[in-house]
Chain A
Amino acid sequence: MKINEIVVISGKGGTGKTTLAASLIPYLKDLIIADCDVDAPDLNILLDPKIRSTYGFVGLKKAIIDPKKCIKCGLCEKHCKFFAISKDIVLSQSKCEGCGVCEFVCPVNAISMVDAIVGDLYESTTNYGDFVHARLVPGEETSGKLVAEVRKKAKALAILNNKKNIIVDGSPGIACNVISSLTGASQVIIVTEATFSGLHDLKRIHELTKKFNLKTQVVINKFDLSPNHSEMIEKYCSENNIIVGLKIPFTKKIVRSIVKKTIPSIGEKEFFKEIGFLKFIDSLTQS
């Protein structure tokens, strides 16, 4: 069975990725849910998950300097390309990328590389299906690797339980964690908003998704906030053969629903029906 893995991303933050991803969930059957925005995970707020298992996430190893052995020769500081070791030979955990060069150059073996738990990965039960989510310790590296772990776990659950669909809530930006959420996905939804910044960032994220050759749809959130920019986005999409799958008008109803910790498409069923949400759902499950 081919798994339909739908990834929701945006480039620009705060355009409504999580709102959209959450809203899709109740309408998709045979579903596994994955939150890959590991340094700002929010889907759990709307899904009320019951955590079944927690796994420590070991990222790259980190250096530890033994001050008793250290002779302050400064070789490690000189060789560290990540500025993780200060002049007085103190290591900054958050800057260490775990390369091991300091351990290698230290003449007195004062440095060792040790496993560091830099996040947690959770497997949970929700009313809408199994949910894989994670939390990176704030300030940590390797979020791309944690994203890959979340997706791997979600896929394994899908295969094990014979589930057809996986929905992935991605992170903003265009770097490692986004690239990591796109690799091997089935289709992508880019959520943008009708603003100057929204258009600017859409172009950049689309440059990235093009490289993956995925079925792509754009959702324009708050499209009526600036009809002018909404038109510019639609024009860009039609020139680049991207389908605008859904346009959502600005409404306080969505925020009100989130404040009540209710999935917006459940809390505001009528509103979603009116904007053609059901048709959009169909487009995601047709192969």
Chain B
Amino acid sequence: MRIAVLSGKGGTGKTTITSNFAVNIKNSISIDSDVEEPNLHIFMDMKDPTSEPVYTLYPTINKDLCTLCGKCGDFCNYNAIIPAKNQVVIFNESCHDCGGCKLVCPTGAITYEKREVGKIFKGTTKYNTELYYGLLNIGEMSGVKIINQLKKYSELNEETVFIDSPPGTSCATVAAVEDVDYAIIVSEPTPFGVSDMKMVVEMLREMEIPFGLIINKAGLGDDEIYDYCKDEDIEILGEVLFDKKIAELYAGGKIFSDSLPQYKNFFSDIYKNIRKKRRSL
């Protein structure tokens, strides 16, 4: 079963919640698909990871074959290939690697070269679980390629997979959560938390992914989130109270249920509840 943890708003506790599930659910593996700013491996304490590069392709022109006909430039919707007077100029960061320019080139002047956009790290954590995370190279526009590559690992594994997702609701988040069996939204009871969560709810409903909510930092803000869940018939899976101790443990890169064992059952109970629900669907 693949379970995505996401939030809309950053900093509500996605990684905190994912890491607590990952250490309390036996035989689970975890994937950090927040490739722009991955943090899960810090909390899970990953030992000696191995890495593999992730590539994207971009076009190069064989000047001897190119007739400067301009068809590649007309086709490209990303302005990544622009035929000028004497040569075709390539802006390879803008290229989406769709393969269109090669298809339309009448003289076969276009071939593709690969460029590394980031890496995938894999290894075993201090908790003796498997962890995979992606890391986008600085200056790259999109982590979607890495996220799609990461997903292959979740498909290979038949156990439970927890996927720490990127914040927001744009293409990277869609890539991370599509095809999951269940999504856990982590939000906080503040106007910002509720506003950003609404966008996530809209996205998950559109994608037809079942979901529930964990309220983190409960007691810190107001009650708007409870009213919203009631109106929208959203299940609250559980609440983690606002506790300075938890914040301090987080600051130090620690998983809080390790130090606050009363929370161990909290996570395994939510997990059992989700499993039960999935079976009844």
Contact = CB atoms under 8 A, between A and B. Distances in A.
B97 interface: yes
Which secondary structure dominates where chain A touches chain B?
Answer: loop
Given A136-B170, A138-B169, A13 B97 contact: no
Interface in B50-79: 75, 77-78
Interface in B96-153: 96-100, 103-104, 136, 138-143, 148
Contacts of A94: 171, 174, 206-207
Given A42-B192, A258-B190, 15 more contacts: A12-B10, A40-B169, A81-B97, A82-B98, A95-B175, A101-B99, A101-B100, A138-B203, A139-B206, A140-B171, A195-B251, A196-B251, A197-B39, A229-B251, A250-B244
B103 A138 contact: no
Contact of B191 (A12, A61, A197, A258): A258
Given A39-B170, A42-B192, A61-B77, A174 B36 contact: yes
Q: How large is the interface on A (under 10, 10 to 19, 20 to 34, 35 or more residues)?
A: 35 or more
A14 B11 contact: yes
Interface of A: 10-15, 18, 37, 39-42, 45, 60-61, 79, 81-83, 94-95, 97-101, 104-105, 136, 138-141, 143-144, 171-177, 179, 193-197, 200-201, 204-205, 207-208, 211, 222, 225-226, 228-229, 250, 252, 255, 258-259, 261
A153 B228 CA distance: 33
Given A13-B10, A258-B190, A261-B191, A97 B98 contact: yes
26 contacts: A13-B11, A13-B167, A40-B10, A42-B192, A81-B97, A95-B175, A97-B96, A98-B77, A101-B98, A104-B75, A104-B103, A139-B173, A144-B141, A172-B10, A172-B37, A174-B37, A175-B141, A176-B141, A197-B39, A197-B42, A197-B253, A204-B37, A226-B248, A226-B251, A226-B252, A229-B251
A171 B196 CA distance: 12
Contacts of B139: 179, 208, 211
Interface of B: 8-12, 15, 36-37, 39, 42, 75, 77-78, 96-100, 103-104, 136, 138-143, 148, 166-175, 178, 190-192, 195-196, 199-200, 202-203, 206-207, 220-222, 244, 247-248, 250-253
